[in-house]
Amino acid sequence: MNLFSNADAEVLAPLTSGWFLDHAWLIPVVPAIAFALIILFGKRMPFKGSELGVLSMLASLVLSTGAGYQWIQRVNSATEEQFVDPVIKSWTWWQNAGFEFGIGQHIDGLAVLVLFVVAFISTLVQIYSLEYLRGDRRYTHFFAALTLFSGGMLAMVLADNMMLLLLGWEIMGLCSFMLIGHWWEEDVNSKAALKAFFTVRVGDVGLLVGISMLYFAANDWTRENLDVSGFSIRGISAWALSGEPNSTVIMIAAVALFIACIGKSGQFPLHTWLPDAMAGPTPVSSLLHSSTMVVAGVYLVARLYPVFFVGLDIPGGGGNLIVIIGGITIVISAALAFVQNDIKRVLAYSTVSQLGYMMLGLGAGAWMPAVFHIFTHAFFKACLFLGAGSISHSASHHSFDMKRDMGGLRKVMPITFATWIISTLALCGVFPFSGFFSKDEIIDNVGHNGYGLFMIIALIGAFMTAAYMTRATYLTFFGKPRGASAGHADHSAHDAHDAHDSHDAHASSGPHESGLLITVPLIILSVLALSSGFLNATPFGESWERMKLWVEPRHSAFAPELHHAPFMWSKALMSLAIVFLGIAVSWVLSFRLFTKRDPRLVGLTQRVKILGVGHKFLVNKYYLDDFYEKIIVRNIAGPIASAAYWINQNILDGIIHKIASSSRLISGWVYRNIDQRVVDGAVNNSASFTKSVGTAAQPSQSGKVSQYGALLFSAAGVAALVLVIINT
């Protein structure tokens, strides 16, 4: 059976591509090469290898921008009904026993969007790190890991098959472990790195199961109809929409893949690693939370959307695993942000919540708004994290504690303050900042597609987002300066950064604005946080929806049919009213609590028992860490580890010891009987025989010429006599 009819073949006529699209595979290759060069030669270079990291990401940014521009041209040259075919290049990597593993590129609107975002944010983070990590003892290794980290994400986005996607996925996991534990001398940092690594590994089991199931379920069909392997992303998408899959098989495969996305993108209940990942340097936090690692799970759902669309019955409405997990994640993470004093942890829980919005959109059929939120979120979240780093670097003596070491910083850090406010308004979804155009579209489409309950949850999340970000803003930039921001630094409890760099001069000069290497990236990101939403400004009509035209695949054998909610200002104004209510309520409470020290609010959680219980419940993060460590690890993983240790010591080591003892006995017998008696005996006997012959011949070697002559003539005489006898 052929998948396409003749009419389809005409619609799918090839469109022009271009050099950048054809050679997009270079985008991850460049940072991969740079990583190797930094490791080999970085410490001997003038800037300790950081120049290679920055240049490689600039090169990837140029290549990504070129590919994006040519993709837009490709889309614009297509007819309105025409499906714009992705630019796919594939080569055989290796094959064995009928299994063929390829390596190649799959470039479409989704890929070019994420490639540009990753390369752009990575470039700014590398430039920012030149100043932020200056003097760090592992400066070269930091830039090597950071470069490979970005390269892994770029490789995953570019992948044309699931095996290459898995490779990029695991590269990021390894690099995140190295970067989160960059200052591994502190126990808290090494534990955070291990926690992130093992938590994500739990989810990754689902990815392996899902890939295996899809391969064995789809391989025959994709071979027959598309002549591609069952690992092909394009082939899997077409198979999922063909009506061929068994409903149970594709459902289980979708659930398995989503479990991996839960771990990678910090969704409930595997979100606990993400806030602890703040132990790494702030540039790592910015990159990890804005455009790499955590976005990987969302990208996987968007990339294999037909599998989830069919397997979890997304068009059916009501509820499915993705919207349920997304809705829970939005609310629980926003609640945890209220009780954090560490500014980076507030932003971390904010990231978890925004990832919940993305998953909610994908689970409810709002594919384009969710993908667009990846785009806008990257800019304002990167700006917020780098802003927090700017504060710790130049104002709070490397502390991130808002209550103890911040306050009143808007006057001494005007650039950081302005960029923070812009990005916060974008995060809250205030018009006309970028977050409004993406997050509001998610909320609107969730309700439009039959998920009314989850639309209400999303609106509650919007209120909470505005409230906790207002609290963080007030504590940081308003009120009276406290601790380090007032010039009273407490050296006993600073961020780990303080122990590994040479920035103490910053603290001694008092709070001040950061240098250009830090503020310029902040300014660029804040401009995009303000303006990037206009690339898909649905309130202004279809002519403004450029991102939808360039990125969203048109309905075909490879993409499901998607519906969009018509924009209504009445709904948008309701969302904005909820956001402004959250800002106002939080501002009043923050002013009364932190500035006026209103006795009705101060100590309220101690006076009201139920509030105290709730506060403690949040401070202890719903006791999930205790559940994992004290119940799962201690009662499940602990006994398994103990059993494995016993088997290792008593069975495996016992076998090895028996083999060693037997080998020792055998070798002793061989030494005594074969080596000593046979081999050495033969050598010794030959030596003795030679000695005997030499001893017997020794008298003939007298050294007298007359004796030698007599022997010679005697021998000649005997020989002549023998000849005479023979001849007669």
Can you tell me the distance from the alpha carbon of 550 to that of 107, in angstroms, rounded to the nearest whole number?
Answer: 12
In terms of Cβ atoms closer than 10 Å to its own Cβ (0-12, 13-18, 19+), residue 280 is buried
Q: For residue 28, is it within any domain?
A: no
Can you tell me the distance from the alpha carbon of 304 to that of 310, in angstroms, rounded to the nearest whole number?
Answer: 11
The reported pLDDT for the residue numbered 509 is 66
Tell me the per-residue pLDDT of 149-189, one tens digit each, with 9 for 90 and over: 999 999 999 999 999 999 999 999 999 999 999 988 888 88
Task: Tell me: do 582 and 663 sit in the same domain.
Answer: no
Sign of the C-alpha dihedral, residues 70, 71, 72, 78? positive
The reported pLDDT for the residue numbered 14 is 59
Can you tell me the distance from the alpha carbon of 304 to that of 240, in angstroms, rounded to the nearest whole number?
Answer: 9
The closest alpha carbon to 341, from 275, 423, 271, belongs to 275
Q: For residue 536, is it within any domain?
A: yes
The reported pLDDT for the residue numbered 502 is 43
The reported pLDDT for the residue numbered 8 is 43
The reported pLDDT for the residue numbered 700 is 58
Sign of the C-alpha dihedral, residues 386, 387, 389, 393? positive
Angle, helix 343-363 to helix 294-303, in steps of 10 degrees: 10
Task: Tell me: do 351 and 485 sit in the same domain.
Answer: yes
Q: How many domains does the chain have?
A: 3
Can you tell me the distance from the alpha carbon of 84 to that of 208, in angstroms, rounded to the nearest whole number?
Answer: 30
Can you tell me the distance from the alpha carbon of 291 to that of 150, in angstroms, rounded to the nearest whole number?
Answer: 9
Task: Tell me: do 380 and 361 sit in the same domain.
Answer: yes
Residue 136 main-chain phi, psi, to 5 deg: -65, 145
Sign of the C-alpha dihedral, residues 711, 717, 719, 722? negative
Structure confidence at residue 4 as a pLDDT band (50, 70, 90)? very low
The residue-averaged pLDDT of 683-691 equals 75
Q: For residue 574, is it within any domain?
A: yes
The closest alpha carbon to 142, from 182, 97, 202, belongs to 182
Mean pLDDT, the chain, whole residue set = 88
Can you tell me the distance from the alpha carbon of 276 to that of 351, in angstroms, rounded to the nearest whole number?
Answer: 13
Picking from 22-36, 242-256, 705-719, which range would have the lowest pLDDT averaged per residue? 705-719
Peptide bond into 432 cis (omega under 30): yes
Picking from 393-402, 445-454, 698-707, 717-726, which range would have the lowest pLDDT averaged per residue? 698-707
Instruction: To the nearest 10°, report the CA torsion of 35, 36, 41, 47.
Output: -10
| Residue 252 structure tokens | 């289980």
304: DSSP letter: T
Task: Tell me: do 443 and 524 sit in the same domain.
Answer: yes
The residue-averaged pLDDT of 649-674 equals 83
CB count, 10 Å around CB of 700? 9
Residue 693 main-chain phi, psi, to 5 deg: -60, -40
Task: Tell me: do 361 and 431 sit in the same domain.
Answer: yes
Can you tell me the distance from the alpha carbon of 483 to that of 406, in angstroms, rounded to the nearest whole number?
Answer: 7
pLDDT(702) > 70: no
Q: For residue 114, is it within any domain?
A: no
Sign of the C-alpha dihedral, residues 120, 121, 124, 127? negative
Range of the domain at 379: 315-490+512-552+566-591
Instruction: Tally the residues of the chain.
Output: 728
Q: For residue 407, is it within any domain?
A: yes
Q: For residue 129, is it within any domain?
A: no
The reported pLDDT for the residue numbered 341 is 93
Residue 104 main-chain phi, psi, to 5 deg: 180, -165
Can you tell me the distance from the alpha carbon of 675 to that of 560, in angstroms, rounded to the nearest whole number?
Answer: 77
Can you tell me the distance from the alpha carbon of 438 to that of 267, in angstroms, rounded to the nearest whole number?
Answer: 20
Task: Tell me: do 582 and 607 sit in the same domain.
Answer: no
Can you tell me the distance from the alpha carbon of 499 to that of 427, in angstroms, rounded to the nearest whole number?
Answer: 33
The reported pLDDT for the residue numbered 535 is 95
Task: Tell me: do 426 and 571 sit in the same domain.
Answer: yes
pLDDT(534) > 90: yes
Tell me the per-residue pLDDT of 257-310, one tens digit each, with 9 for 90 and over: 999 999 999 999 999 998 888 888 999 999 988 888 889 999 999 999 999 999
Picking from 99-103, 121-125, 700-704, which range would have the lowest pLDDT averaged per residue? 700-704
Task: Tell me: do 401 and 359 sit in the same domain.
Answer: yes
pLDDT(497) > 50: no
Task: Tell me: do 454 and 533 sit in the same domain.
Answer: yes
Residue 350 in contact with residue 292, Cβ under 8 Å? no
Degrees, nearest 5: CA angle 109-312-216: 80
Can you tell me the distance from the alpha carbon of 433 to that of 383, in angstroms, rounded to the nearest whole number?
Answer: 14
Task: Tell me: do 398 and 481 sit in the same domain.
Answer: yes
Can you tell me the distance from the alpha carbon of 490 to that of 487, in angstroms, rounded to the nearest whole number?
Answer: 10
In terms of Cβ atoms closer than 10 Å to its own Cβ (0-12, 13-18, 19+), residue 509 is exposed
The closest alpha carbon to 382, from 145, 54, 122, 65, belongs to 122
Global confidence as pTM: 0.86
CA distances 266 to 274, 348, 368, 438, Å, are 6, 10, 21, 20
Picking from 102-106, 260-264, 597-601, 658-662, which range would have the lowest pLDDT averaged per residue? 658-662
Tell me the per-residue pLDDT of 44-102, one tens digit each, with 9 for 90 and over: 999 999 999 999 999 999 999 999 999 999 999 888 777 889 999 998 888 777 677 88
Residue 596 main-chain phi, psi, to 5 deg: -80, -15
Q: For residue 585, is it within any domain?
A: yes
Amino acid symbol at 401: D
pLDDT(697) > 80: no
β 87-96/99-107 pair status? antiparallel
Q: For residue 468, is it within any domain?
A: yes
Residue 205 in contact with residue 305, Cβ under 8 Å? no
The reported pLDDT for the residue numbered 12 is 46
Task: Tell me: do 375 and 433 sit in the same domain.
Answer: yes
Per DSSP, what are the bridge partners of residue 103? 91
Task: Tell me: do 613 and 677 sit in the same domain.
Answer: no
Residue 506 in contact with residue 393, Cβ under 8 Å? yes
